[in-house]
């Protein structure tokens, strides 16, 4: 920990962080019910994709559920009706998200702040009504009975087995973990690239970035499309896990929830949104017995977090860690 290297996920050296993430991913299904673990991972990817836009592009989208939802529906349709391989079904869902991202971007990318949020909200409502009314989406019921299929026709994702005393569809879990970690790796990689630096400069001072010749709108558009694609991938993954593309995936409440996840975990940090997403899904599950009171409890937690951890849980932790490191550095001289 002594060497001042490039900060990784939590501020510590990068490689160590990724090993930690993988270890946590392997442990997770032994700590919570495996299907819940997979759902937590899907939402972690969704929140991180959203954070790419809010935390690093400075754009608050209030329509990200549209990408999540379209990913779930298209993947579900591809797996169920076209009977495609799970990987191809995931690819179809992601591609749909990318195309929707391009459409959203074409309309909204030059809008700033609250206007961007309003335009994305309006577009997402259009997508919601299409998913409600279109003949192949199952209306209120959503798309049910989506088969998990067999990966590359070989690895059955449906069958469960017992591993170290825990019964789960381990093949599916492996796929979900691999896709989620890869998605996060892609995000980290993009942010650390020349494009990432250019994007940060646009977020810091857009007119200045433009005055240096950086394609500010183009960069933001690119991030929106990437974010939309990853959010759709997360939705597609969730559809495979639960065998269901639910209409709730595309509601504005879902767009709100991903904002919540990101803020609770820490906007603009790599690990924060994933942690926030995992925590919220876990609470949803464990507090399910409270019925509609869940919303009240979660609202209370959100208010508490905003008041106490202004930077989010991981954001506060990072700030504390940097302060203590600075203190150690100065007292060591």
Partner 1 sequence: MSAETAPILACRGLRRDFRGFAAVEDFDLAVREGSIHALIGPNGAGKTTVFNLLTRFLPVSAGRILLRGEDITALPAERVVRRGLVRSFQISAVFAHLSALDNVRVALLARTGLVWQFWRARSTLDAFTDEAHHHLASVGLADLAHTPAVALPYGRKRALELATTLARDPAVLLLDEPTQGMGIEDVARITELIRIAARGRTVLMVEHNLKVVATLADTITVLARGRRLAEGSYAAVSQDPLVREAYLGHGGDAHA
Q: Which residues bind partner 1 (CB under 8 A)?
A: 6, 189-190, 192-198, 200-201, 204-205, 207-216, 219, 222
The pair of structure tokens assigned to 129 is 């009504």
User: In this complex, which beta carbon is closest to partner 1, that of residue 192 or of residue 301?
Assistant: 192
Q: Rounded to the nearest 5 degrees, what angle is found at the Cα of 13, between the Cα atoms of 8 and 14?
A: 50
Task: Locate all alpha helices (DSSP H) within 64-169, ordered by sequence.
Answer: 64-80, 86-108, 113-133
CB within 8 A of 142, min separation 6: which ones?
A: 244, 245, 246, 247, 248, 249
The pairs formed by 257-260 with CB atoms below 8 angstroms and a separation of 24 or more are: 258/43, 258/46, 258/47, 258/50, 258/64, 258/65, 258/68, 259/50, 259/54, 259/60, 259/62, 260/298, 260/302
- Rounded to the nearest angstrom, the gap between the alpha carbon of residue 321 and the centroid of all alpha carbons in its chain is 25
CB of 70 to partner 1, least distance (A): 23
Q: What is the DSSP letter of 13?
A: B
Are the CB atoms for 105 and 97 separated by under 8 Å? no
User: In this complex, which beta carbon is closest to partner 1, that of residue 132 or of residue 191?
Assistant: 191
CB of 218 to partner 1, least distance (A): 8
User: In this complex, which beta carbon is closest to partner 1, that of residue 125 or of residue 201?
Assistant: 201
User: In this complex, which beta carbon is closest to partner 1, that of residue 203 or of residue 251?
Assistant: 203
User: In this complex, which beta carbon is closest to partner 1, that of residue 165 or of residue 194?
Assistant: 194
CB within 8 A of 120, min separation 6: which ones?
A: 61, 62, 63, 64, 104, 108
User: In this complex, which beta carbon is closest to partner 1, that of residue 41 or of residue 223?
Assistant: 223
User: In this complex, which beta carbon is closest to partner 1, that of residue 6 or of residue 162?
Assistant: 6
Strand-pairing partners, residue 244, are 144
How far, in Å, CA of 14 to CA of 7, rounded?
A: 6
CB of 64 to partner 1, least distance (A): 21
CB of 76 to partner 1, least distance (A): 30
Q: Rounded to the nearest 5 degrees, what angle is found at the Cα of 255, between the Cα atoms of 252 and 261?
A: 140
CB of 219 to partner 1, least distance (A): 7
User: In this complex, which beta carbon is closest to partner 1, that of residue 166 or of residue 201?
Assistant: 201
CB of 56 to partner 1, least distance (A): 12
CB of 316 to partner 1, least distance (A): 17
CB of 231 to partner 1, least distance (A): 18
């Amino acid at each position: 920990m002594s060497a001042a290297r490039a900060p990784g996920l939590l501020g510590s050296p990068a490689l160590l962080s990724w090993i930690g993430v993988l270890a946590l991913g392997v442990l997770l299904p032994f700590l919570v019910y495996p299907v819940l673990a997979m759902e937590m991972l899907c939402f972690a990817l969704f929140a991180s994709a959203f954070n790419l836009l809010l935390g690093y592009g400075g754009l608050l989208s209030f329509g990200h559920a549209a990408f999540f939802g379209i990913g779930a529906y298209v993947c579900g349709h591809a797996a169920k009706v076209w009977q495609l391989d799970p990987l191809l079904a995931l690819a179809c869902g992601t591609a749909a998200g990318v195309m929707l991202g391009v459409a959203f971007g074409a309309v909204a990318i030059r809008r700033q702040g609250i206007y961007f949020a309003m335009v994305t909200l309006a577009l997402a409502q259009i997508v919601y009504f299409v998913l409600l009314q279109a003949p192949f989406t199952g209306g209120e019921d959503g798309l049910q009975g989506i088969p998990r299929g067999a990966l590359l026709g070989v690895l059955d994702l449906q069958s469960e087995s017992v591993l170290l005393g825990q019964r789960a569809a381990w093949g599916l879990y492996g796929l979900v973990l691999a896709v989620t970690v890869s998605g996060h790796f892609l995000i980290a990689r993009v942010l650390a690239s020349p494009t990432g630096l250019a994007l940060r400069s646009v977020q810091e001072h857009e007119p200045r970035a433009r005055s240096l010749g950086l394609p500010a709108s183009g960069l933001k558009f690119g991030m929106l499309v990437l974010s939309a694609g990853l959010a759709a991938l997360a939705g597609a993954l969730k559809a495979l896990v639960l065998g269901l593309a639910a209409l709730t995936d595309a509601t504005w409440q879902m767009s709100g929830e991903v904002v919540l996840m990101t803020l609770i975990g820490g906007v603009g940090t790599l690990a924060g949104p994933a942690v926030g997403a995992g925590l919220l899904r876990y609470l949803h599950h464990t507090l399910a017995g409270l019925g509609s009171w869940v919303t009240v409890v979660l609202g209370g937690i959100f208010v508490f977090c905003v008041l106490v951890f202004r930077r989010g849980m991981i954001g506060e932790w990072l700030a504390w860690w940097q302060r203590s490191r600075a203190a150690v550095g100065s007292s060591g001289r």
